[in-house]
A and B are shown apart, each in its own frame.
Chain A
Amino acid sequence: AQKVTQAQTEISVVEKEDVTLDCVYETRDTTYYLFWYKQPPSGELVFLIRRNSFDEQNEISGRYSWNFQKSTSSFNFTITASQVVDSAVYFCALSGINFGNEKLTFGTGTRLTIIP
């Protein structure tokens, strides 16, 4: 069975501060994908990133960066110089890669509030 844990239910930071959202996962699969999605107040689910379990390189996209560590089963997400528009619920998710194992298992989400 797959499981994703986002221990931080809510986080509030002042604008321009850096913030890290934690994600820990469990899976018996040897190959898998990890994801982050953003759900702004308008309610849609926006894809942010997908990482393959083969690739442990960290990734940076503008103010966003992701740290994947297989040894600790973690896939953490950092926002640098946070902005009010970053306020949203962020979901970490996990899926298998092989046919029949493609469903995404989501964590419970972290509600991030950026205070102006």
Chain B
Amino acid sequence: DAGVIQSPRHEVTEMGQEVTLRCKPISGHDYLFWYRQTMMRGLELLIYFNNNVPIDDSGMPEDRFSAKMPNASFSTLKIQPSEPRDSAVYFCASKDFSSPLHFGNGTRLTVT
């Protein structure tokens, strides 16, 4: 299997711009998670989906962040407008009911 695929690997943008991060989960996995990793806050859950439906979005920082899962093989995390404090590594991960969580390689976002 190809594993969880995230794009882009790196993103550099200016403050105020819209940023879209993309994720393709492992085929057959019905859970998809978005995590953010920073030095200050460590690994924190932003949102997770089951069967394309958001289950827990309590970690989404504010209205500037939105996540969608239009189908079982694709999800996006959008930040609009972006701010320097959004700079982090964003991980997507997927699992099925019985498997552990498998992570993608992450997207390193830098907002200047």
In the complex, are the beta carbons of A104 and B101 less than 8 A apart? Answer: yes
Assess A44 versus B106: contact at CB under 8 Å? Given A91-B43, A102-B48: yes
Q: Does A41 have its Cβ within 8 Å of any Cβ on chain B?
A: no
How far, in whole Å, are A91 and B103 apart by their CA atoms in the complex?
A: 13
B78 within 8 A of A: no
| Bound Cα distance from A44 to B91, whole angstroms | 9
Flag if B42 contacts A109 (CB, 8 Å). Answer: yes
Name the distance in Å between B104's Cβ and chain A's nearest Cβ: 8
Contacting residues, chain A, for B42 (C-beta < 8 A): 106-109
| Docked CA distance A105–B44 (Å) | 7
Residues from chain B with a CB closer than 8 A to the CB of A50 are 100
In the complex, whether B109 has a CB less than 8 A from a CB of chain A is no
A47 with B101: CB separation less than 8 A: yes
Known contacts: A100-B55, A104-B45. The answer to whether A47 contacts B102 by CB under 8 A is yes
A62 on the B face (CB < 8 A): no
**How far apart are the CA atoms of A105 and B42 in the complex, in Å?**
10
**Which one, A44, A46, A47, A103, contacts B33 given CB within 8 A?**
A103
Which B residue's beta carbon lies closest to that of A6? B42
A interface residues (Cβ-Cβ under 8 A, vs B): 33, 35, 37, 43-47, 50, 91, 99-100, 102-109
